Each structure stands twice: as C-alpha cells, then as structure tokens.
C-alpha cells in the first residue's frame, strides 16, 4: 500500500522499478497497477495500452476481477488489442462472476445499445442492490417502466429504485422522476414534485450544463403554476437545509465505458 501511494499520490517514478520487480514475481496487485500505469498514467510511464493488456492478461489468468474488467474495456474499445465485442462480453461476464458488479452495468449498457432490453435488465438486476452503483437501479427501473407491463407492486418497486438512485446522486434518476411526476406515469401527476426534482437536479454539486438545460426545457414545456413552483422549491429548500443532501450526492461516480479501473468497487486493495 505504501508503494502504491508513493506512485499514485506522490507521482514518485523512483518507486516504479520496485513495483515492476513485484510484478515480475507474480504479485497480482502489482501486475494490475503496472497495467493501469501504462493505460492511464502517461505522467509516470509512456502510455502503451498494448503493455497494459499484456500485464492484465497475466493477472486475469488468476481470476482477478479488475484485470478481467480492464481487458474487457480494452477489447470493447479496441485499445491496445483488436476490437472484439464478443471477447469483451466474455471478459465482463467473468469479471462479474468474480465479484466486480460494475461489469454488470457495462454489460447492460452493451445490450441496451443493441436493443436487447430483457438481457440488459437481467444484467442490471444483478447489481441493483449494490449501493455504490446507483446507475444499475436507474437503468433497471427505466427499462422496467418503458419496456415492460408492470404490476402495481412492480411499479412501486421501480419508483423506489429511482428514488434511491436519485438520493445517491444519479441525476438520470432525478430527471426520470421529474418526467414521471410531470406526466403522471406510475406515480401521481404532480407539478410540485416535478419542480422538486428539477431543483435537485439543477442544484446538485454534480450537475452540469446538460442537466441544467434539461431542467430549463422541462420548465418551459410544462409551465407549472406559480403555486406548484413555490411548493416544489420550498420542499427542496427544506430537504437541503444546511446542504444536508450534498455529501451523499457528491459520492456519485459516473461509469466511463472507455476507462480502465484500479479497484473493485472503489475499495483500495
């Protein structure tokens, strides 16, 4: 751990030969880190995704979930290896089986892009209970609402998943809740609730120009009555008194399907 901190936090290039020696001696975490440096840290070593792939191929043989995931990312994007979607799917599936739930989200995204919505939902379902991956709840719920015929209980569960994901900082979930409230889909139609979610979306510390534009479009399209605007904004102000919502919203981490990772679930190993 000390060696890792020297390299990643202090940018100490003098520590890399020691890391390389550990990797040569089949220390899996060192092999994973060497691959990560070649793929993601050009300030420390010359960027070379081919070298990264070679390192991760070695550690993947031991079943290391991060190595399997990272190889999947490389094959998905054709970086350092030939682009091969079938191989990427196989590697993500192996990574998931070995406990890296983020791989399920990527698999779900891949199936959604091919309009295989049932398969996508099956992948998302495997990670909906993982607290640090609210995106799984969001995408599962959105597909359930838009692609399936829900029972009242299933609709309630989908809304609960969106609410949980929204409270964890996933602005896609927050935007979806605002749309459901505006249209009265699976929840009661309520412009004040729409406004509450739009305020949450715009004022979140993770908000950006995209979500602020969506909120502006919603206000313009639905033109909520002044009383509902006031009620929604007041509800947001009460909920966020003293920035109470911000710490949890700040914990949200988007998943980049082009980026390799260093740790499973954001936990330092």
Res 264: pLDDT: 79
Residue 80 lies in a domain: yes
Q: Is residue 244 part of a domain?
A: yes
Q: Are residues 79 and 142 in the same domain?
A: no
Whether residue 25 is contained in a domain is answered as yes
* Domain boundary residue, one of 79, 100, 121: 100
pLDDT of residue 266: 46
> Looking at the structure, do residues 67 and 134 belong to the same domain, yes or no?
no
User: pTM, whole model, 2 decimals?
Assistant: 0.94
Q: What is the mean pLDDT of residues 49-74?
A: 98
Task: Grade residue 82 by pLDDT with cuts at 50, 70 and 90.
Answer: very high
56 shares its domain with 139: no
Q: For the residues of 109-150, what is the DSSP string, one character each? A: HHHHHTT-HHHHHHHHHTTTT-TT-HHHHHHHHHHHHHHS--
Has residue 259 been placed in a domain? no
Residues 24 and 84 in one domain: yes
| Residue 148 shares a structural domain with residue 92 | no
Range of the domain at 137: 129-254
CATH classification of the domain holding 36: 1.25.40.10
250 and 134 share one domain: yes
Q: What is the pLDDT, as a whole number, of residue 248?
A: 86
Q: Is the pLDDT of residue 73 over 80?
A: yes
Q: What pLDDT does residue 263 have?
A: 87
Rounded Cα gap, residues 160 and 258, in angstroms: 30
pLDDT, one tens digit per residue, over 159-212 is 999 999 999 999 999 999 999 999 999 999 999 999 999 999 999 999 999 999
Q: Region 21-30: what's the mean pLDDT? A: 96
One domain for residues 91 and 195: no
- Regarding whether 93 and 182 lie in a shared domain, the answer is no
**To the nearest whole percent, how much of the chain has pLDDT over 90?**
94
Evaluate if residue 43 carries a pLDDT over 80: yes
Task: Give me the pLDDT at residue 268, please.
Answer: 36
Stretch 15-43: mean pLDDT: 97
Number of separate domains in the chain: 2
What is the residue-averaged pLDDT of the chain? 96
Is residue 3 in some structural domain? yes
In terms of domains, do 42 and 86 share one?
yes
Q: What is the pLDDT of residues 220-269, one digit of tens each?
A: 999 999 999 999 999 999 999 999 988 889 989 999 999 999 987 643 33
Q: Say if 110 falls within a structural domain.
A: no
241 and 144 within one domain: yes
pLDDT tens, residue by residue, 89-106: 999 999 999 999 999 999
Q: How confident is the model at residue 75 (pLDDT cuts 50, 70, 90)?
A: very high
b/e 43-59 (16+ beta carbons within 10 angstroms → b): ebbeeebebbbbbbebb
Does residue 115 lie within any of the structural domains? no
Above 50 in pLDDT, residue 69?
yes
User: Which band of pLDDT confidence, cut at 50, 70 and 90, is reported for residue 8?
Assistant: very high
pLDDT for position 265: 65
| 64: nearest Cα among 95, 24, 104, 34 | 95
Does residue 122 lie within any of the structural domains? no
The answer to whether residues 133 and 96 belong to one domain is no
CA 66, CA 79: separation in Å to the nearest integer?
Answer: 17
User: Does 187 share its domain with 82?
Assistant: no
């Amino acid at each position: 751990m000390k060696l890792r901190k020297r390299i990643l936090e202090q940018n100490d290039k003098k520590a890399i030969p020691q890391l390389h020696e550990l990797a040569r001696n089949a220390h899996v975490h060192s092999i994973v880190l060497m691959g990560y440096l070649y793929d993601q840290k050009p300030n420390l070593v010359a960027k070379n995704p081919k070298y990264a792939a070679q390192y991760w191929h070695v550690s993947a043989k031991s079943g290391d979930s991060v190595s399997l995931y990272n190889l999947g990312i490389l094959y998905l994007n054709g970086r350092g290896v030939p682009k091969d979607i079938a191989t990427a799917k196989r590697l993500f599936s192996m990574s998931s089986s070995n406990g890296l739930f983020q791989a399920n989200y990527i698999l779900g995204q891949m199936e959604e892009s091919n309009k295989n919505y049932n398969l996508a939902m099956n992948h998302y379902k495997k990670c909906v209970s993982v607290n640090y991956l609210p995106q799984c709840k969001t995408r599962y719920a959105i597909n359930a609402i838009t692609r399936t015929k829900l029972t009242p209980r299933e609709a309630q569960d989908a809304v609960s998943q969106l609410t949980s994901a929204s409270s964890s900082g996933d602005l896609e979930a927050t935007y979806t809740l605002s749309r459901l409230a505006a249209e009265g889909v699976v929840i009661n139609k309520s412009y004040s609730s729409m406004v509450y979610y739009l305020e949450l979306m715009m004022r979140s510390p993770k908000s950006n120009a995209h979500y602020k534009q969506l909120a502006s479009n919603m206000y313009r399209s639905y033109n909520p009555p002044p009383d509902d605007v006031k009620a929604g904004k007041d509800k947001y102000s009460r909920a966020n008194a003293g920035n109470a919502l911000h710490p949890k919203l700040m914990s949200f981490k988007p998943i980049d399907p082009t980026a390799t990772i260093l740790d499973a679930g954001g936990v330092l190993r």
